[in-house]
Amino acid sequence: MIDIQRAPKSKLSETNFDNLVFGQVFSDHMMECDYKNGKWQTPVIKPYGPLSLEPSARVFHYGQAVFEGMKAYKDENDKIWLFRPDENFNRINRSSKRLAIPEFPKEYFFEALEELLKIDKAWIKKGFGNSLYLRPFVIATEAGVSASPANEYKFMIICSPAQAYYSGEVRVKFSEKYSRAADGGVGFAKAAGNYGAQFYPTNLAKEEGYQQIIWTDANTHDYLEEAGTMNIFFRIGDKLVTAPTNDRILDGVTRKSVLSLAEEFNIETEVRRVSVQEIIEAAEKGELKEMFGSGTATVINPIVGFGYKDHKFDLPNMEDSYARSFKDKLMKIQYNQAEDKFGWRYEVK
């Protein structure tokens, strides 16, 4: 059912796995599946390489493009694991639907992904923190610049070896002017344009000494929503608080896993709107103990400080950090080192 064309020569021996820059190196193979004549054609696994597209291809003009981010892990016995891949599959189809892109069949996704991982399994290195980052994406390839949904698409998966990601100290700026997403818009989708639109405001925040922006609601800028590629959690006292997902916020796989683990750890959790004012007041009273982001790339990313208008706060360094406990437990589940109570692990056989 899948057409496989093997790379004549592997790039493995030329790859320095001790010095990987995230998302720069790609494995030997990729998956490509075309949509034409009203249906998805046979998926093909072929050597990783450039595409040839018409300059008028719709994706370049109207941004009909969605993507996913997931990882494959190898345990000490060379078994390969994915983490909740159904969630990513369902989400890329939710994203596609919003961008008027035809949904991708589940059996194609899993068969092609597993075949690709088996062919490129040597690219998944053992060791806590090592993984193969997987980037499924869909683009509108049909030629012609009329502003209408394309009739032709490509669904692809490319794979990039990744090491444990140390982002350094992260200070965030609460957005007071720019917005990432609006009501009724595409914020909940992993639409390429959502990310392109964040670069300019993020560059401005970087000039002020921050690494990332925490996006606030577009109407009032009073409520904290999510970071650029992470959902966001606050620990106020010993309570864990995060915003509910809606049509502006991505329904993160890591976020929902943290919420399940919080229950297991008996941590009191509130999923509700979180106002900028509340967080500033909690910080002033010394009740804001932690702030962290959650996402596939970094798993859990502790935030050491934040700023909003003239306010600037540093967060304490907690001995009993929630961020550390969540990260440790999630990674142990991902690497098959801890019991998988929730059935999140998926073995690639």
Ligand X SMILES: Cc1ncc(COP(=O)(O)O)c(C=O)c1O
Q: Which residues bind ligand X (CB under 6 A)?
A: 69, 190, 226, 229-231, 250, 252-255, 294-296
Q: Output the smallest distance, CB 35 to ligand X, in A.
A: 23
Interstrand relation of 153-162 and 311-314 (parallel, antiparallel or unpaired): unpaired
Is the Cβ of residue 141 or residue 294 nearer to ligand X in the bound state?
294
> By C-beta, is 156 or 253 nearer to ligand X?
253
User: Least separation, in Å, of the C-beta of 195 and ligand X?
Assistant: 7
Q: Are 138 and 98 in contact (CB under 8 A)?
A: no
Q: Is 281 helix (H, G, I), strand (E, B) or coil?
A: helix
Provide, rounded to whole angstroms, the least separation between the CB of residue 136 and ligand X.
12
Q: Which is nearer to ligand X, 31 or 230 (CB)?
A: 230
Q: CB of 148: closest distance to ligand X in angstroms?
A: 27
Q: Which two tokens stand for residue 335?
A: 């690497």
Q: Give whichever of 48 and 195 is closer to ligand X, judged by the CB atom.
A: 195
Nearest approach, Cβ of 252 to ligand X (angstroms)? Answer: 3
Q: Is 40 or 67 the residue whose CB approaches ligand X more closely?
A: 67
Nearest CA to 224 among 280, 279, 274?
274
Shortest Å distance, C-beta 32 to ligand X: 22
Largest CA distance in the chain: 63
Cβ nearer to ligand X, comparing 85 with 252: 252
Beta strand 299-308 with 170-174 is parallel
Distance CA(331)–CA(334), nearest Å, equals: 5
SS3 label, residue 258: helix
Taking the C-alpha atoms of residue 208 and residue 213, their distance in angstroms, rounded to an integer, is 11
CB 136 within 8 Å of CB 107:
no
d(CA 226, CA 73): 26
Q: Report the residue number, 20 or 250, with the smaller CB distance to ligand X.
A: 250
Distance between CA atoms of 64 and 148, rounded to whole angstroms?
10
Write down the least CB distance from residue 277 to ligand X, Å. Answer: 23
Lookup: tokens for 143: 């030629």
DSSP state of 245: P
